[in-house]
Structure 1
Amino acid sequence: MAKINTKTVKKKKLGNYPHAMVVFSISLALFVIGLFGMLLIHAGKLSEIVKESIEMQVYLQRDLTLVQLDRLQKTFAAKEYIAYKADTAQVRYISKEEGAKAFLDETGEDFMAFLGDNPLRDAYVLRIDAEHSTSAQLKGIKNDLEGIDGVYEVQYVESLIESINSNIQKISILLLGFAAILVLVVIILINNTLKLALYSQRFLIRSMQLVGATSFFIQRPFLNRAAWQGIVSGIIASALLFGLMQYAYHEVTELSLLKDEEQMYMLMIALIVIGCVIGFLSSYRAIRKYLRMSLDELY
């Protein structure tokens, strides 16, 4: 008697479509968003550093005592617009002797020998916090400092500050515009990827409808799978982004000055959330579309 070969047919599970390429496509899309997000973070950090490099020269009245100089330094340090570094107020004292020596080192000319006296004044150099760096704020700071007893004059390069603020504003608008376009493109890409993946399941969805399955019962496995795909894709994209940035910081030491770990971790969490939300909503829209189609439209 001839032996009959039987082949076990694996039952197709609802929502169990091949997902490796889906995860790969979503991960790649999220990774691109992450790269641009890191560009925005580093650009923001660079902008903050540039703004915090703004300095004001506060020239003092002549013949102030050490007690008066110390009082002025404490007054300046207590101002809310003074930048801090490692809990230290960025207030630097320059005596008129130090100023004369710096001028001699730069130009090689000894004006004291010609004039017979040092016409310079003692001064404090104040570094302004980035949050108070607009032109209007700096003018207000200048007026505030000039009202302090013992201050003769306050100077800063106003034209340079206006140029810096104008350029930073233009670059910020340009980057945000690119970011908005990129996010829209990525959403469309993820949506189309999941729609194509679910296209192969359209007849299975119809079969479940014909046997009386409710819409919620049909949608649940697809939505769960899409949400997990988004989470896994976000984790993969975050891991790739973290590895790339660590390599970049190692190779380009100066780049580490722009590192902001808190914002980087927030970006990685955002990628996971974005992947989950977009995956869920895209699958929901696609499944609802196939549930409403007639049999003729499915072909």
Structure 2
Amino acid sequence: MTSNFDKFQKRRLISSYFSVVLSVFLVLFLLGILGFFIINSKKLADDFKEEIAMTVFFKNDANDTIIKAFAKELKTAPFAKSFVYVSKEQAAKQHTDIIGEDFVTFLGTNPLQNSYDIHLKADYVIRDSISKIENRLRKNVMIADIVYDKQLVNMVNDNIKKVSMWILIISGFLTFIAVLLINSSLRLSIHSNRFIIKTMQMVGATKSFIRKPFVMRSIKLGMIGAGLAIIALIGVLIYIETNFPGLGILEDKLLIGLVLLMVFGVGVLITWVSTYFATQRFLNLRTDDLY
């Protein structure tokens, strides 16, 4: 009879440990996925910003020396990520390919201008910065016009702000849910040992002495759950990089390492804090309240 009861207790204990590890694993895995989404959403937003081109048109009086001098200026400019020179002949050919008709032959002259397509760095693709860049470039008397999609710049920045705000709200909500889930699993685990806790307290054991083995056990379970979550997250990253190499999800290894370190740290921290307060609750209960 005693043997059967011991086996039952052992199975219940293992089941309790398993539920804690599973809860920690699932919650931290979701938090890790959210963390990767946040860092990559910024990268995707920056990539989209840097696809917006600013086209600088030169007057017909601008010779090769002036155009080459402008290229040298762009090479040292902090705002320019990349730039491409488009001659009036290249522009005419591109237009001919698009409309399917040689308009130069029809007009008898090429009305287009030599130009540079400049892709700005993401940090400069905002309303104020791009206006300052435009004003700076217009000081060159050989520049005829500067064209870029102002509405698109404003729309991109406004939408990124909205998306960032919602990501922050969702992140906070999921973190709160994560703490509640792990805390509930640990409290259920400790609840089954409430009589042992009270018995130890009645025979004179200090609170810290009683609390220590429960805290250490929970931290170990948290480390196991966090370790499993990290392995799963690395597997997801490798899968995405293998099947979608264009995303470049593994490029920023430092941020990836920080997210994985955060996952491990959160696993240890939440289990430690939850176990501390759960044991404290049962230590402060009266014997009658245990039932």
| CA distance in structure 1 between the partners assigned to 2:106 and 2:39 by the alignment | 52
CA RMSD of aligned residues (A): 2.1
Out of 204, 227, 234, the position equivalent to 1:242 is 234
CA offsets 1:151-176 (integer angstroms, 9 cap, x no match): 22211011122222222222222222
1:101 Cα offset (Å): 1.1
Q: Which residue of 2 is the match for residue 64 of structure 1?
A: 62
Give the number of equivalent residue pairs: 281
Amino acid at match of 1:68: I
Q: Separation in 2 of the partners of 1:97 and 1:183?
A: 57
Alignment-derived partner of residue 41 in structure 1: 39
Deviation at 1:223, TM superposition (A): 1.6
Letter in 1 for 2:35: G
Q: How many angstroms does 1:54 deviate by? A: 1.4
1:203-222 aligned at under 5 Å gives the runs 203-222=195-214
Mapped contact 1:42–1:258 kept (Cα < 8 A): no
Contact residue 86 and residue 115 of structure 2 kept, 8 A = yes
| Structure-2-length-normalised TM-score | 0.89
Alpha-carbon distance between aligned partners in 1 of 2:66 and 2:28, rounded to the nearest angstrom: 58
Task: Name the stretch that deviates more: 280-289 or 31-40.
Answer: 31-40
In 2, the alpha carbon distance for the partners of 1:65 and 1:109 equals: 29
What SS does the aligned partner of 1:56 have?
A: strand
The structure in which a higher percent of residues are helix is 2
Residue identity (%) = 31
Conserved 8 A contact 2:51-2:119: yes
Query: 5 Å matches for 1:149-188?
Result: 149-188=141-180
Q: After TM superposition, list the pairs within 5 Å mapping 1:268-287 onto structure 2.
A: 268-287=260-279
**Which residue is equivalent to 2:74?**
76
How much does 1:253 deviate?
4.0
Conserved 8 A contact 2:237-2:249? no
The residue aligned with 2:30 is 32
Helix, strand or coil at the partner of 1:34? helix
Cα distance change on mapping 1:126 and 1:257 into 2, 3 Å: farther
Counterpart check, 1:54 vs 2:46: no
Alignment check: 8 A CA contact 1:190 1:279 kept: yes
Q: CA deviation at 1:259?
A: 5.5
For the Cα contact (< 8 Å) 1:60–1:152, is it kept in 2? yes
Q: Which moved more, 1:157-166 or 1:275-284?
A: 157-166
TM-score when normalising by structure 1: 0.87
